[in-house]
Chains A and B, each alone.
Chain A
Amino acid sequence: MLSKKNKEAFFNPLSKDNPVLVQILGICSALAVTASLEPAIVMGISVIAVLAFSNVIISFLRKTVPTNIRIIVQLVVVAALVIIVQQILIAYNYDVSKKLSVFIGLIITNCILMGRLEAFAMHNSPWPSFLDGIGNGLGYTIVLLIVAFFRELLGSGTLFGYHVIPQWCYEHGYMDNGLMILPPMALITVGCIIWVHRSRNKELQEN
């Protein structure tokens, strides 16, 4: 069940082979949905779900799909899953689905998905593919949450919508940093995380 290879498939994407920090994939949505924590966490869960199940489905189909139409098959599978996720969100969490707008739909084009399907699910059996999907989804979500934490805290003074910076700070002249809400700071925050991550993992540093 959890052989060494499976463990690697699950744990590597969390840090050493993180899709955002190391492969620099999925940056676009990391910019768009991280202005506050709530949409970030919903986005993360959606990506985990879509990634895990599309990995499993493609892994089941991997021997029957002709090579030259495999991308189309992968897209159909991902698109179907994304629509299910989108409908569930609209049904049960309408406000957040409004905030995420097109970005749930754009999970289809998220490079992490195509990358994992091509690189992993096409060559591995369903169970490792499932673990790989969960692992990569989690790796993506962790980065999203760190970015969203700093952007929401410094940009709006809130966490999950609750005010955490005490009122007396504002009375003494503290102000929320409006730049943190703007997309450039998401990139710079991701950059800082990569900076810290690389300086802790020397083997990842390129020369």
Chain B
Amino acid sequence: MKALRKFMDKIQPSFRPGGKLAKLESVYDGMETFLFTPNATSRSGAHIHDGNDLKRTMITVVVALIPALLFGMYNIGYQHYLAIGQPDAGWFTMFLFGLLALLPVIVVSYAVGLGIEFIGAQIHHKEIQEGFLVTGILIPLIVPINTPLWMTAIATAFAVIFAKEVFGGTGMNIFNVALITRAFLFFAYPSRMSGDEAFVKVDSAFGMGDGSMIDTFTGATPLGQIATNVGDSLQMTNILGEPISCLDAFIGLIPGSPGETSMIAILLGAALLLITGIASWRIMCSVFVGGLAMSALVHVLPSATYPASMLDPWTQLCLGGFAFGAVFMATDPVTGARTNVGQYIYGFLIGVFAILIRVYNSGYPEGMMLAILLMNAFAPLIDHCVVSSNIKRRARRAATKE
């Protein structure tokens, strides 16, 4: 450690103004604060701080994502080996396969996103912000596993430039960057984002898991199947065509984006976020309440025209990206509402719209992404209304007292 400190001190002058590498000052700062605690704290006066800074917040979210990440890797392997007809391949083989399949996506997402942030910081002579830490791990978790890497790279670049850097970088973005990445992919390459071969890894990963698909293979996600369901009864199947239930969706061994399938893993992450106070419990709870209320409402009048209305409310919440979005996306402190009352409204409406889009818009079997992006746009308005109604109420109270 000491040697590292010495080395950093030795090369420091060449990064300061006038030095040889002055242009890369922010890179140096970024590395230094990454390796060591910055000592630029106030020495005098009254300052109350807890140890929680942006970096620690980000890391906590990343840690909270780890259960979903690990389960996602296992599930990728599980689905793949199921699809090539070797369901007894052993959990370690499955996990390794998933790791090898998901790792390139993680690398691409971080390389592209951090690369752009580095360049941006150099151009603006600012410090490098660690805002991409969470986004970089969210992207692989919400992008279908079969998406070609170059598509992920383009979408990430688009999202980081047009949803974040253009607005002024970390903390200034209006829309959730990871969701913009997914939305870009969804609208730009719709044929790769749905159907049989999007959510189950069909080819081998680095030569591992070779084999051809079994004949009865159908890779559509439960929500995808529901969207095309015909008739009065609802039947969800796994990729072999065997029926699955709400419990399967809760455990998460179903096809879907890597991070979103397992309710258990997501709830573990949610618990950590709530205990540490990183995520707003108001938003998280109200998303679930909103979703539950809306799915109960649509379930009152189930019709074959809108097959998703036949799902019972609990299954609605377990399927697709609802829980993942509620826990990790809706609670993003930058793009969400900030006032307490605003957070209830914001979360509730996300839940309502997600189910509304899911049920009544057959073009989009999953509504969570669009619901969160829509409410991202409305969050400042909600806050504004809450704040100005508070001001009005207090002004009225003050007026009556006199």
Contacts and interface: CB of A to CB of B under 8 A. Distances in A.
The yes or no verdict on A and B being binding partners is yes
Contact of B190 (A173, A178, A180, A188): A178
A87 interface: no
A58 to B, nearest CB: 40
B151 A182 contact: no
A175 B151 contact: yes
Interface in B174-228: 184, 187-192
A173 B152 CA distance: 13
A201 interface: no
A179 interface: yes
B188 A177 contact: yes
A175 B184 contact: no
A179 B184 contact: yes
Contacts of B189: 175, 177-178
Contact of B188 (A173, A180, A188): A180
Interface residues of A, number: 8
A179 B162 contact: no
Contacts of A177: 154, 188-189
Nearest to B184: A179
Contacts of B148: 173
A54 B171 CA distance: 49
Contacts, number: 19
A182 B189 CA distance: 12
Interface in B279-309: none
B187 A179 contact: yes
B192 A175 contact: yes
A188 B184 CA distance: 13
B90 to A, nearest CB: 31
Contacts of B192: 175
Interface string A177-193: 11110100000100000
A159 B188 CA distance: 19
Contacts of A173: 148, 150
Nearest to A175: B189
B162 A178 contact: no
Interface string B142-156: 000000101100100
Contacts of B191: 175
Contacts of A179: 184, 187-188
B243 to A, nearest CB: 34
A163 B259 CA distance: 39
A114 B192 CA distance: 45
Contacts of B151: 175
A149 to B, nearest CB: 18
B187 A188 contact: no
B162 A182 contact: no
Nearest to A174: B150
Interface in A153-207: 173, 175, 177-180, 182, 188
B190 to A, nearest CB: 6
B284 to A, nearest CB: 30
Contacts of A182: 187
Contacts of B184: 179
A182 B183 CA distance: 13
A179 B150 CA distance: 16
Interface string A81-108: 0000000000000000000000000000
Residue in A173, A175, A178, A179 with the greatest tally of chain B CB atoms within 10 Å: A179
Interface string A9-23: 000000000000000
Interface in B206-255: none
A179 B162 CA distance: 14
Contacts of A188: 162
A37 to B, nearest CB: 20
Nearest to A179: B188
A44 to B, nearest CB: 26
Nearest to B188: A179
A31 to B, nearest CB: 16
A180 B184 CA distance: 10
Contacts of B188: 177-180
A109 B33 CA distance: 56
Nearest to A177: B188
A175 B148 CA distance: 10
B177 to A, nearest CB: 15
Nearest to B150: A173
B202 to A, nearest CB: 14
A131 B188 CA distance: 41
Nearest to B149: A173
A5 B151 CA distance: 50
A73 B139 CA distance: 57
A93 B188 CA distance: 31
A177 B184 CA distance: 9
A177 B191 CA distance: 11
Nearest to A195: B166
A94 to B, nearest CB: 31
Given A173-B150, A178-B190, A188-B162, 4 more contacts: A175-B151, A175-B192, A178-B189, A180-B188
4 nearest interchain CB pairs? A179-B188, A177-B188, A179-B187, A178-B188
12 contacts: A173-B148, A173-B150, A175-B151, A175-B191, A177-B154, A177-B188, A178-B187, A178-B189, A178-B190, A179-B184, A179-B188, A180-B188
